Structures are given as structure tokens and as C-alpha cells.
Amino acid sequence: MLSKLNTEQREAAMYLDGPLLVLAGAGSGKTRVITHKIAYLVEECGYAARNIAAITFTNKAANEMRERVSLLLPGKSAKGLVVSTFHSLGMTILRAEAKLLGYKPQFSIFDSSDTFKIISELTNSGDKQEIRDIQTQISNWKSAFVAPEQAVVVADSADAEAYARIYMRYQETLRAYQAVDFDDLIHLPVLLFKDHPEALLRWQHKLRYLLIDEYQDTNDCQYQLTRLLAGTRAAFTAVGDDDQAIYAWRGASIENLHNLRTDYSQLRVIKLEQNYRSSQRILKVANALINHNTKVFEKKLWSDHGIGDPIRVYAARDDEHEAESVVMKLVTHKFENQAKFSDYAILYRSNYLSRAFEEQLRAQRVPYTVSGGTSFFDKPEIKDITAYLRLIANPDDDPAFIRAITTPKRGIGNATLEKLGSHAGLRHISLFEAAFDVQIEQLLPPRQYEDLMVFCRFINRLEDRAESDPCGELLDELLRAINYETWLYDSSDARQAESKWKNVEDFIGWLKRKSEADEKSLIAMVQTIALINMLEGKDKEQEAVSLSTLHAAKGLEFPHVFIIGAEEDILPFRDSDAKGIEEERRLMYVGVTRAERTLQISYCKRRRRGKDWALCEPSRFLEEMPQSELVFAGGHAEAVQVVTKDEGMDKLARLKAMLAKPVAES
DNA sequence: GGTGATGCCTTTTTT
DNA sequence: AGGCATCACC
């Protein structure tokens, strides 16, 4: 079974004598090690699949992992295997153990727009940036294990203390709503396990072997959860690559790789250094680039593939021209090489950069899929429906209550909600509960009170049936009862309404299929929704070009890769400090190492900034690559193409000088 | 005075 | 594509 692995991979797959850290360079087959190890545990070591947990960082990675394991494990032997993200594992634990923490199992999961609203209400400030700052601060506190009370105590400035107090009230609010945020999904299980050893034992008994992918992206909280679950047996394999750590901004710390060494003296470390993905030239460029970072774990990636094509660097006039030339190049290349569209990826730093490319691809009738970007579940029509579902699952979910009761409009407006809200605030109860309070009848005009009661009884009826009745029936009835389709057509033009209604139908269809396939109740489905951002299985293996952010591209590979927008202030992102630059460099490294055979990196010489043009400087990372392996093309850089490699740097410098001159308005 | 529609400007990365 | 501001209309 393990015959397809190389010596190190096999060793990693078979090592079971204690904790194991696999330092796996890009393209060195780390997913392969994990999947084969799972198969090995089941087939050769007598583990039941349901006692093994593989933890990934994205749902995409989890799905792929599940698929690859089921290819290795015939029949039903993969049944029960836990493959999930940290967050969804946390959700599962929390749902099972909710009572111990004083939550009901149907707790709501708040996404960042929910928490944004809560914080903005708590602060009474309209400053969006400040609210975002508070959001990040709270998130950092949680992942670093600082309780609200502690945050208040250690605050070293008036501002910090103000934030800490908001944190405290924020946490109280979530609890009142029977809601948790993303960080709580990991934070709360850790608290639970610390306070309830018997619960920890249960889970240690259930999850007897842990495999953690992308270990370099864990934050302190996730590390704690891992440690607790692994227990004294320390039966786990962590796989990671410090050069691909790109989530420091959300609290991940590469130090967790080292902490593993200090916390587990018996830790075995295996390095995977043979790359099976890229050409020698791509690797050479990637290695040279990443060597500009201060290194902790020395690692030397090598490949026995051919030297490969030169890496093209293309200077485009502006973003429109960049899109045009990349798409032309891609189409020509596909035609000449008889390749498939799915062999190509266009990667970028920020979501908005995809726009020009989407336009161009549509114009050329090239099929494409976009990953990352705004989630399907963020669309207003989907949020409307999920508000109802959330409310049915958990009537104390105030944000869901407000959205549902006002969409479609049913005669309850701000004035009524305000009265209800202030009463709820006084009594420390949810809006839903407040509606049934005896005093409310006197506080509201009869008409409003009647409408409110009709709505609440309606929700109550659905709530009663949520556990027992089939999910599909319930959904159909809900949509009919609220007349959602009609309302869509009444409130937007026919074209938009049509597409929105189609989204709703897709969503409902997906919910029905998924709840049947996974044997999940509607309530379990509702909680899952907050954690995913795409309808899975909708566009599998399409023959289409992939557009993706560099973050979302991690773990993927493509024969031909275009990295676009390689400019200062974009990649690296503006205002990056020294540490930030290193992370940006790793991001570029991730991009470069996605490529198997050809790679083109492009940048714009200018970009529209409002009315006029702003000049763009090529990314410093281009200079950090061995110039001998690059071929320059396009616009000003055309001249660079003919020079010898030694002059490459000079030319680039001169090119920059030329670009520094003002460009005429057009 | 309040609300709605239109148009212009700006976009970090994600569970 | 979304958010914000401005303008016009009710």
C-alpha cells in the first residue's frame, strides 16, 4: 500500500512510536503522506476510521482529503473518519458538550458581519475602521487565551481598557443570544476540556489518532486544542511548512512549529525535501526568493524534473491591458499545447484584482471558476433565508430575529423593534422572549402587537417540527408561508429577482441533499452554513480556468500559472512592516510553487485610481529572483529581453526610473 | 425633513 | 460589487 511513497514519506506514514512532525516543502507530497497514513492505520494497524481525525484549514482541503482517502480505502472502511477543519471539529465538540458550558446545542454561530453589528451597537461609533480594529483585537485576545476580565486588568492604556470593556460586554451579548463566534468554536472546547476532564477523556477516547495539516497556520488556541486532544499518548502527526505560513494576520504563529519541539521532547522530525511538482527552474526561483526570509528550519527543495521553460515577467500598460494580454497568452498557449483550461490558474493578492480578468475571460468565452471572494452564503437572499433557519434553531438569536421579522416587510418597523429591544435590554432577555412578556402588549400598538405575535407563533410552530419533520418539507413550507418568491419580484427588477430566486432554489436544493446525505437535522445544517462559503459539489472538475487568491490557492497545483498584479503596494501589500514583508514573500512563494511547468508573473505600469492614473512599481520580489531565469516582456521592458543576464538588474533599475516619470493623462 | 435612487469611488488575505 | 454620498422628489 505504501509502495508509491519515497523513503521519507513511507517513514512518516509508518511512524507510530510517538508524536511526529513532518516538515514538508511545497509539492513534496504531504497530503499523500496524510492520506496514506490514514489508510495504513486502518488497514494495517487495526484503527477504526471513526477513531482517526484529520484536521485541515479549509473546507476545500477537507473535501479533497476525504475524497483521496476514500480512493485508498475500499468500501466502507473509511466510514466515520473525521475529516474537518479546526472550526467544524470545534463545532461538533461544542454541540455535543454544550450543556456543560451553559449553552444549548442549537447555539447560533455568528459570522463577522453579525459580530460587526454587535460591536458597532456596543460602541455607538460609526467608525468602521475602529470597529474592525476592535474585532481583530477581540479575536487576538481569544486566540491568545486572554479572558475579558484579564484583558481589562492588563490594559496599559485608556484605549486598551475601553476595548477590553467592549470585549466583556461583547461576550455577555453573545451568551445572551446563545451564540458563539468563530474564535469561540475553538476557544470554548479548550475551556471545556480544562474544566471537565471527563469530557476530555471521552473525546480522547474517540479521537485516538490526530493528523493535522498545514500546522504552520495554527494559532495558540488551536495548538492548545491539539495538545489536549492528543493527551499523554501524544498520538499525532503534524504536517507543515514554515515557508508557507500565510495566516499570521489571523493569529497563526509559526512558533507553534518550535513549540512542538519543546513541548514534546520525544518529538520525531522528518523532512520531505523532494518536490514532485515543479520544474527545476521554478524551484530555483522559489528557493532564491524564500531565502530572503530569516529561516528557522533549513530545508532544501530539489526536483528531478527537467529544467523547464524560463519564467516570464510581463509588464502591462494597465490592468485592462494586463487582463487582455494574459488571457490572450493563455488561450494561445492552450491551443498550441492542446492543453485543458483546467490546467491554468490566474492567481492574485486581493479579490478585487480578479474583476478585469473575469471580464476578459467572459469576452473571450473562456470558462472559469473563481474561488475565494464573496461567499455564496453572503448574498442577501441567502442571508434572508438563513436568518429564518437560524431563528427556528435558536429563537434567542437577535440578529436573525431582526432580519427575519423585517424581511419580507410585515408591518414591524424600527419603532416597534426599538420598544421591543429596550424592554429586552432591561430584562436581559432576547427579543423573541421579550415578545411574550406580559408588559409588551401594553407597550405596543395593537396592530403591531398582533403582527408580532403572528410571527412569533409561526416561528414556534416551525421550531416544534424542526427536529422531527423532514428538512425538505419544512423548507418548502417556510418559503411558501413567507411568500419569498413574490416578495423578490416585488422588490427588485425581474432579471435580478430571477437570479436571486435561482440562488435560493440552489441553496434549498443543496440543503435538502446535504441533510439527507449526511443524515443531519436542519439545525445541524444551519450551524454548518456559517463555516462554509461555497456550495460543494456544484462545479466539480469543470473544464475551466481557475481564478483564485494566493491564500485560497495554497495546497493546489496547476501545470500553468499566471501570477498577476506583482506590484509594490499590492504584493507586497502596502504598509507591510518587516514581518509583514516576510509573510508577503511567503505568499509569493506559495504562488510560484503552485506551478508545475510554466509560470508568468505580470504587473501593471499604472493603475486607475479614481479619475487619474497612479504609477505602479514592480514588486521587489521580482528583483529577489535570479534574473538569469527570468525573461522580460511587454511595454517598456521589451528592451530588457535582449540584454545579458548580468545587466538584468541594471535594466530593471532603469526601467523603474523610467516609470517614475509622470505618465500623460489619457 | 426624510427617503429613495443613482452614480461615483475604492477594494487584504478567511474560518 | 458594494458602500457612500449627493441630489431630487415626495
CATH class of the domain whose range is A377-537: mainly alpha
User: Rounded CA gap, A659 and A606, in Å?
Assistant: 9
Out of A114, A213, A220, A324, pick the active-site residue.
A213
Annotation marks residue A583 as catalytic: no
- Residues of A from 185 to 224 whose C-beta is within 7 A of strand B: which are they? none
- CA atoms within 13 Å, Cβ hemisphere of A237: 29
User: Rounded CA gap, A238 and A628, in Å?
Assistant: 37
The answer to whether strand B lies under 7 Å from the CB of residue A496 is no
Look at residue A540 in the predicted model and tell me its pLDDT. 56
* Residue A600 grid coordinates: 508568468
Look at residue A660 in the predicted model and tell me its pLDDT. 44
Out of A97, A181, A183, A214, pick the active-site residue.
A214
The answer to whether strand B lies under 7 Å from the CB of residue A57 is yes
CA separation, residue A293 to residues A250, A254, A273, A595 (Å): 20, 13, 18, 21
Q: Which amino acid is at A217?
A: D
User: Rounded CA gap, A501 and A512, in Å?
Assistant: 16
* Residue A320 grid coordinates: 485592462
Kindly write down the DSSP assignment for every residue of A585-610, as one continuous string.
Answer: HHHHHHHHTTEEEEEEEEEESEEEET
Residue A532's CB: how many other CB atoms inside 10 A? 19
- Maximum CA pair distance of chain A? 87
User: Rounded CA gap, A544 and A366, in Å?
Assistant: 7
Residue A438's CB: how many other CB atoms inside 10 A? 6
User: Rounded CA gap, A386 and A118, in Å?
Assistant: 18
Burial class for A490, CB neighbours closer than 10 Å (0-12, 13-18, 19+)? exposed
Q: What is the DSSP letter of A570?
A: B
> What is the CA A208 to C1' C5 distance in angstroms?
58
Give strand letter and number of the nucleotide nearest A84 (CA to C1'): B15
**Contact present, A139 and A146 (Cβ < 8 Å):** no
Residues with CB under 7 A from strand C: A 128, 352, 374, 379
Strand partners, A347: A548, A563
Closest by CA position to A132, among listed A148, A116, A149: A116
The answer to whether strand B lies under 7 Å from the CB of residue A554 is no
User: Rounded CA gap, A357 and A354, in Å?
Assistant: 5
Annotation marks residue A30 as catalytic: yes
User: Rounded CA gap, A374 and A371, in Å?
Assistant: 9
CATH of domain A108-177: 1.10.10.160
Give strand letter and number of the nucleotide nearest A352 (CA to C1'): B11
| pTM for the model | 0.86
> What is the CA A591 to C1' B8 distance in angstroms?
34
- A7-94+188-274 placed in CATH 3.40.710.10: no
Q: Where are the alpha helices (DSSP H) in A364-413?
A: 380-393, 398-406
Annotation marks residue A232 as catalytic: no
Same fold, A7-94+188-274 and A377-537: no
Look at residue A269 in the predicted model and tell me its pLDDT. 94
User: Rounded CA gap, A130 and A119, in Å?
Assistant: 10
The answer to whether strand B lies under 7 Å from the CB of residue A355 is yes
Q: Which amino acid is at A174?
A: L
Domain ranges of chain A: 7-94+188-274, 108-177, 311-367+542-660, 377-537
User: Rounded CA gap, A316 and A323, in Å?
Assistant: 9
Q: Which amino acid is at A514?
A: K
Cα radius of gyration rounded to whole Å, chain A:
27
Annotation marks residue A594 as catalytic: yes
* A483-535 per-position pLDDT tens digit: 888 877 777 777 777 778 888 888 888 888 887 777 777 778 888 888 887 77
SS3 of A130-190: HHHHHHHHHHHHHHCCCCHHHHHHHCCCHHHHHHHHHHHHHHHHHHHCCEEECCHHHHHHH
* Residue A586 grid coordinates: 511567503
Look at residue A610 in the predicted model and tell me its pLDDT. 67
**Contact present, A182 and A216 (Cβ < 8 Å):** no
Strand partners, A633: A314
Closest by CA position to A226, among listed A258, A252, A189, A276: A189
User: Rounded CA gap, A662 and A614, in Å?
Assistant: 9
Cβ neighbors of A324 (< 8 A, separation 6 or more) are A360
Mean pLDDT by 10 residues, chain A (666 residues): 88 94 92 94 92 90 88 82 93 93 91 86 77 87 87 84 90 91 94 95 95 92 93 92 90 86 92 94 94 83 90 90 92 94 94 90 90 77 88 89 81 76 84 85 81 88 81 84 80 75 86 78 82 67 87 91 93 84 94 95 85 83 92 63 39 48 33
Q: Give CA angle at A63 (A219, A555), nearest 5°.
A: 60
* A274-296 per-position pLDDT tens digit: 999 999 999 999 999 999 998 77
* A350-401 per-position pLDDT tens digit: 999 998 999 899 889 999 988 866 778 888 888 888 889 989 988 998 888 8
CA separation, residue A69 to residues A79, A119, A303, A487 (Å): 10, 42, 26, 45
The binding site of A comprises 24-31, 277
Closest by CA position to A597, among listed A560, A546, A555: A560
Burial track A587-624 (b if 16+ CB lie within 10 A, e otherwise)? bbbbbbbbbbbbbbbbbbbbbeeeeebeebebbbbbeb
> What is the CA A501 to C1' B3 distance in angstroms?
27
Show contacts of A445-450: CB within 8 Å, 24+ apart.
A447/A411, A448/A411, A448/A412, A448/A416
User: Rounded CA gap, A276 and A274, in Å?
Assistant: 6
The CATH superfamily assigned to A311-367+542-660 is P-loop containing nucleotide triphosphate hydrolases (3.40.50.300)
Show contacts of A92-96: CB within 8 Å, 24+ apart.
A93/A189, A93/A192, A93/A203, A94/A180, A94/A184, A94/A185, A94/A188, A94/A189, A94/A192, A95/A524, A95/A527
Q: Which amino acid is at A69?
A: V
Annotation marks residue A31 as catalytic: yes
Annotation marks residue A518 as catalytic: no
Closest by CA position to A582, among listed A246, A314, A284, A311: A246
Closest by CA position to A300, among listed A26, A590, A91, A41: A26
The binding site of A for ATP comprises 24-31, 277
> What is the CA A474 to C1' B4 distance in angstroms?
36
> What is the CA A230 to C1' B6 distance in angstroms?
58
Q: Which nucleotides of C are covered by protein (CB under 7 A)?
A: 1-2, 4
Q: Which nucleotides of B are covered by protein (CB under 7 A)?
A: 8-15
